[in-house]
Amino acid sequence: MNALRAWLATPASGRGAIAIVGLASDDAAGMDRMLSLVTDRAVSVGVPVLRALCTGDHGVVVRWSATRCDLMPHGGVANTRRLLRALEDGGAVVGQATAETYVEASDEIERRMLDALARAASPLAIDLLLDQPRRWREAGGAGSVNEDPRLRRLIEPALVVAVGPPSVGKSTLLNALAGRGVAMVHEAPGTTRDHVGAWIDLAGLVVRYVDTPGWRDADGPIEEEAQGIAMELTRSADLILLCGDATTAAPELVAKTGERLRVATRIDLGEPSWRFDVGVSALDAASVTAFALRARDLLVPPELLADPRPWRFW
């Protein structure tokens, strides 16, 4: 029986304008059948075309070979889900990309690079990944390679957790970094009763950023549970932001995992007496940018990005 396969080739968590849905089959008839599920006209090999899709959307369709094709619809999450569901309802197996995905690749390293490029969340990953086929060819199997696990954070976003007392501006900082209202902001202590998460671009490095409830004596079982969840998050964090301002004592945390950055928030209202690594005011764009750069460089140090050796990114 002919196997029909489909997968989302762009990051599921991304907010890009265009998505890529890959299609593969064992023979040309199978590909013709899959295309008939999503568009009403045949598609020739090697000729990119714009087609109306079954989701009510329009998208570019590129048939790379008789048995491989890419659909490029608008990148909204709901839209791509509808497209994949239509393919699955028609008999396609929806899953992960396979070795046959990148038929245009000239060798295995280039295939791996294209696969990583499709999944990489961070803009910083693009140039470094694109240069890997050349580096591996020139190395020819000789010499050392870069295997530092911190570079994986370019492809799979690191977890950044902000902790500290209530009402020191953690949520305001998150909103400033996101450039939109992600967390509720209010002067009342304990406004963030549960953790709030967002994908944040820290100067080219995309991270999973979590704003936790303010540390204080829990006001009831709901807040106690929320703080317990927040503490659990810190145990798996790649970077913990210890936040406080001029009105609080130095923020501390027992957890031993991950890098730490002691952050003085609301620096426009005055500097705290305790030692801090970086000061930031959500009202000052330059300080927000400086904070983002400092956090980025802790997670992926610049010397790793500048390392000319081949990178084992798979």
Tokens 């909103």 belong to 175
Alpha-carbon span 172 to 169, nearest angstrom: 5
Residue of 115, 139, 107 whose CA lies nearest to 310: 139
| Res 189: pLDDT | 41
Residues of the chain with CATH 3.30.1360.120: 4-104
Query: For 103, which DSSP code?
Result: T
Q: In the sheet where 4-8 sits, what is the strand order?
A: 49-52, 58-65, 68-72, 21-25, 4-8, 93-94
Tell me what pLDDT residue 184 has. Answer: 39
- Provide the 8-state DSSP code for 96: -
Q: What pLDDT score does 76 carry?
A: 84
For residues 60 and 14, give the distance between their C-alpha atoms in angstroms, rounded to a whole number. 19
What pLDDT does 52 receive?
94
Residues in Cβ contact with 231 at an 8 Å cutoff, skipping those fewer than 6 apart: 255
The residues of the chain that CATH labels 3.40.50.300 are 154-299
Q: How far apart are the first and last CA of the chain?
A: 32
Q: Which fold has domain 4-104?
A: Gyrase A; domain 2 (3.30.1360)
Count how many residues are written for the chain.
Answer: 314
H-assigned helices in the chain: 28-38, 77-89, 108-119, 124-130, 132-139, 170-178, 221-235, 285-299, 302-306
In 3D, which of 260, 254, 247, 244 has the Cα closest to residue 161? Answer: 260
What is the pTM for the complete model shown? 0.70
Which CATH number is 154-299 given?
3.40.50.300
Ranges of the chain with pLDDT below 50: 183-194
